């Protein structure tokens, strides 16, 4: 049965709702409260629109009416198209119910900002450059240590800047190699395992630093100023001779989080893994509210493979097929 923190479904479609939720979770998707609310809204609509003995045998008109019923905003329509398509694929492939499956091509949603994705060589150059930045006499004594360590954590762990800066000594277990994020964005807490190489780096960093407070990336008072971090980031790109331009302006420090996600998918693909199977793991690691927030990295990774790794479009299409059996 659904737990007490789950959405309560009407009795007429409670069984199919629970079966679908169990199915999605078995595939590695969290399918939490937000997705369950969406499922309840979908089922309520389907059952209200269909007079057949089996309302789940819905046709094209029901599907089109559903995603146009409330809002014409492209992002809302895209979300509804995707959700009802996934549910219909489940009905067809798992339940043997021939519900109408919306076509694969969904309405386009505008991406307002496309991050700057760096090559592996550029990432190495960024780290080397930040290790040799020169600071003026007014800079905090250990800026050269702190910024270099922070940049590595942002990239290697995919953290948001605020999450990293708010880390305290008690949040980092350097013996076990675990970072603990408490109440991150969307109030999501998570444990983040770190690589052996980063663990060794942070142990040395921690030994060298003379602390004035218990923040892991400290300043004279409190933690390192975010504006200082952004300033040093752009200075690092400039001194490294790396083009920092993104889709509509300069690269942002948050791009390091995007780079982590895309390079993680790249490594998984090179290891022979299906990129779609990596999404639930990556979503949990990055602290996303739902899998929808992680799906954008499939499009960005495909763009990266074509434009930076020089894959042909046909080759990229083969790497990023639609996986209908668990959509």
Based on the fold, state whether residues 142 and 62 are members of the same structural domain: no
Q: Confidence band (pLDDT; 50, 70, 90) for 186?
A: low
Residues sharing a CB contact under 8 Å with residue 258, sequence separation 6 or more, in sequence order: 115, 117, 297, 300
For the whole model, what pTM was predicted? 0.58
Based on the fold, state whether residues 191 and 318 are members of the same structural domain: yes
Q: Does any domain span residue 73?
A: yes
Based on the fold, state whether residues 69 and 143 are members of the same structural domain: no
Number of domains in the chain: 2
pLDDT at 327: 31
Mean pLDDT is highest, among 37-41, 107-111, 114-118, for 37-41
Average pLDDT over residues 65-89: 79
Based on the fold, state whether residues 289 and 181 are members of the same structural domain: yes
29 and 291 Cβ atoms separated by less than 8 Å: yes
Nearest to 326 by CA among 274, 266, 284: 274
Q: Does any domain span residue 249?
A: yes
Based on the fold, state whether residues 273 and 180 are members of the same structural domain: yes
pLDDT at 202: 96
pLDDT at 66: 86
Range of the domain at 257: 113-327
Strand partners, 218: 223
Please say if the pLDDT value at position 310 is more than 60: no
Query: 168: domain CATH number?
Result: 1.10.443.10
pLDDT digits (tens, 9 = 90+) for 113-143: 677 888 889 999 999 999 998 876 666 555 6
Q: Confidence band (pLDDT; 50, 70, 90) for 320?
A: very low
Please say if the pLDDT value at position 213 is more than 70: yes
Residue 172's alpha-carbon distances to 4, 177, 186, 297, in angstroms, are: 33, 8, 21, 27
pLDDT digits (tens, 9 = 90+) for 147-184: 999 999 999 988 889 999 999 999 999 999 999 887 66
- Supply 324's token pair: 């209908």
CA-to-CA distance for 218 and 322, rounded, in angstroms?
Answer: 46
């Amino acid at each position: 049965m659904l737990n007490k923190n789950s959405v309560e479904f009407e009795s007429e479609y409670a069984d199919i709702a629970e079966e679908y939720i169990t199915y999605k979770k078995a595939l590695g998707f969290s399918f939490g409260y937000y997705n369950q609310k969406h499922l309840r809204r979908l089922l309520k609509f389907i059952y209200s629109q269909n007079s057949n003995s089996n309302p789940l045998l819905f046709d094209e008109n029901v599907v089109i009416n559903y995603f146009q019923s409330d809002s014409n905003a492209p992002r809302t329509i895209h979300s509804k198209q995707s959700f009802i398509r996934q549910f219909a694929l489940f009905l067809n492939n798992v339940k043997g119910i021939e519900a109408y499956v919306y076509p694969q091509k969904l309405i386009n949603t505008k991406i307002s900002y496309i991050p700057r994705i760096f090559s592996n060589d550029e990432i190495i150059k960024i780290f080397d450059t930040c290790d040799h930045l020169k600071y003026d006499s007014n800079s905090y004594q250990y800026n050269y240590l702190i910024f270099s360590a922070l940049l590595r954590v942002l990239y290697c762990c995919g953290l948001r800047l605020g999450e990293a800066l708010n880390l305290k000594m008690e949040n980092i277990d350097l013996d076990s190699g675990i970072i603990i994020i408490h109440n991150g964005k969307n109030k999501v807490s998570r444990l983040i395992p770190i690589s052996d190489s980063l663990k060794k780096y942070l142990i040395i960093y921690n030994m060298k630093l003379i602390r004035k407070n218990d923040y892991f990336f400290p300043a004279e008072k409190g933690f390192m100023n975010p504006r200082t971090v952004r300033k040093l980031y752009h200075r690092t790109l400039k001194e490294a001779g790396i083009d920092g331009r993104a889709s509509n302006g300069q690269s942002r420090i948050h791009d390091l989080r995007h780079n982590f996600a895309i390079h993680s998918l790249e490594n998984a693909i090179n290891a022979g893994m299906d990129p779609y199977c990596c999404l639930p793991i990556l979503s949990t690691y990055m602290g996303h509210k739902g899998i929808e927030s992680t799906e954008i990295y499939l499009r960005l990774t495909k763009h990266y493979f074509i434009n930076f790794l020089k894959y042909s479009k046909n080759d990229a299409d083969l790497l990023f097929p639609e996986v209908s059996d668990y959509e």
